[in-house]
Amino acid sequence: MVETLAAVEIRDLVKDFKTSFRRKPLRAVDGVSIRIMPGEVYGLIGPNGSGKSTTMKALLGLVAPTSGQCSIFGKDSLKVDSRNDVGFLPENPYFYKHLSGVETLRFYGKLCGLGGRKLADRVGELLALVDLEGARDRRIGGYSKGMLQRIGLAQALIQEPRLVILDEPTAGVDPLGSRQIRDLILKLRERGITVFLCSHLLEQVQEVCDHVGIIFQGRMIREGRLDDLIAIEDQMEIVLRNASPELISKIAALVKDAPDAELVRTGKPRTTLERLFLREIRDEER
C-alpha cells in the first residue's frame, strides 16, 4: 500500500537559542513531532512563549533546528524549493506601507514566478476571496488590523499553495474581522488546502481545526483528533427544540428506570458571547 505523503512532517524537533555568555542555551522547542496529512486543519495551541512560533519558523526554514527534521510534502524545510507549496502569514504582519493592496499581491506573486494575465486574474480572485476589492488601490498604510490580516492571508495564498501556515491569524482583530478570517480558513479547508495554525484563542481553534496539538514549555503534551480529545466518553448530549415540561419529565423518568444511566443536567443551551455580538451587529446593519 502506498503511504500518502504528509503535508507537514516534523520529527523530534529541538531548538536551542543562545543566551548571554556563560548561561545555558534556552530550549524553545524540545523534541516536538507533528505529522499533518493533506487536507487537515491542524491547530497548535499553547500559552505565550511555549514554542509555537519557533516550531513554525523551523518549518519555514527561518530558523535552523538544533536537532530533528522538518519537511513539507517530503521536501527538507531548509531547502528553498520546499517553499513552493507554502503560504505563510506571520503574527501581526506589517506589509510595505507604500504599496496598495493590488501592488502587494502582485509583488508576492512575481516573487513566486507568476506574471501576466495569470497573476492579474489571481490577484482579482484573492481580493474577492478576502473581501478587499473595495480597498484594492488603497495604500496598506491605511489598512485596519483586520484588513492587514486578510491581505496577509491573500499573499499567503498567491501561488495556490497546498499548505498554509498561519501564526496567530486572529490576534488583535475585532470579533467581526476574526469571524471573517475563520470563515476564510473554513473555505480553505473546503478547497482541500492543508492549514497549520497556531493560536492561544482556544474557542477559535476548536471551531476550525480537526486536529490539535497542545504545546507547553517547548514540549508536545497532547495531540490528536479534536473530536477524540474533547469528547466526554461516558456522556451523551440530546438537544431538543420546543420541548414541553411534560416531555422533559417523561425523558427524566425513562432515564431513572434505566440501569447505570444518570441525568446529569437539563436546561437551555447557551450561545457564545461572540455569536450574540455578531448577530446584534448584523441586525443593526440591516
Q: Which amino acid is at 182?
A: R
Residue 87 C-alpha cell reads as 503560504
> Quick one: which segment of 77-85, 168-176, 229-237, 239-247 binds other proteins (CB under 8 A)?
77-85
Sheet with 67-72, edge to edge strand ranges = 26-36, 8-17, 67-72, 75-76
Give the one residue of 10, 34, 36, 57 binding other proteins; rule: CB under 8 A.
57
Considering only 44-52, 75-83, 222-230, 255-263, which stretch makes contact with other proteins by CB under 8 A?
Answer: 75-83
Q: Locate cell 455580538: which residue? A: 277
- CB-based contact 81:161 (threshold 8 Å): no
**Given the rule CB under 8 A, which of 153-161, 195-203, 261-269, 273-281 is the region that contacts other proteins?**
153-161
- Longest Cα–Cα distance in the chain: 74
Q: Does 19 bind other proteins (CB under 8 A)?
A: no
Nearer to other proteins, 191 or 275 (CB): 191
159 is a contact residue toward other proteins (CB under 8 A): yes
29 interacts with other proteins by CB under 8 A = no
Query: Binding of other proteins at residue 62 (CB under 8 A)?
Result: yes
The C-alpha angle 41, 47, 74, rounded to 5 degrees, equals 35
* The one among 192, 245, 259, 267 contacting other proteins by CB under 8 A: 192
- What is the footprint of other proteins within residues 117-136 (CB under 8 A)? 118
What is the DSSP annotation of 91-160?
SS----TTSBHHHHHHHHHHHTT--HHHHHHHHHHHHHHTT-GGGTTSBGGG--HHHHHHHHHHHHTTT-
Pairing between strand 8-17 and 67-72? Answer: antiparallel
User: Using CA atoms, how far apart are residues 89 and 166, in angstroms rounded to an integer?
Assistant: 5
Interface pick for other proteins out of 154, 193, 215, 226 (rule CB under 8 A): 193
Among 1, 22, 81, 267, binds other proteins (CB under 8 A): 81
At residue 113, what are phi and psi to the nearest 5 degrees?
90, 10
Does position 86 bind other proteins by CB under 8 A? yes
Q: Give the other-Cβ count within 10 Å of 31's Cβ.
A: 14
- Interface stretch with other proteins, choices 155-163, 168-176, 212-220, 263-271 (CB under 8 A): 155-163
Task: Establish if 101 lies at the interface with other proteins (CB under 8 A).
Answer: no
Q: Which stretch binds other proteins (CB under 8 A): 88-96, 170-178, 200-208, 237-245?
A: 88-96
Least Cα distance to 198 among 49, 14, 73 occurs for: 49
Paired strand residues for 219? 216
Min dist CB 81 to other proteins, Å, is 6
Residue 107 engages other proteins in binding (rule: CB under 8 A): yes
State which of positions 236-275 bind other proteins (CB under 8 A): none
Interface with other proteins by CB under 8 A: which residues? 57, 60-64, 80-81, 83-96, 98-99, 107-108, 110-114, 118, 152, 155-156, 159-162, 165, 187, 190-193
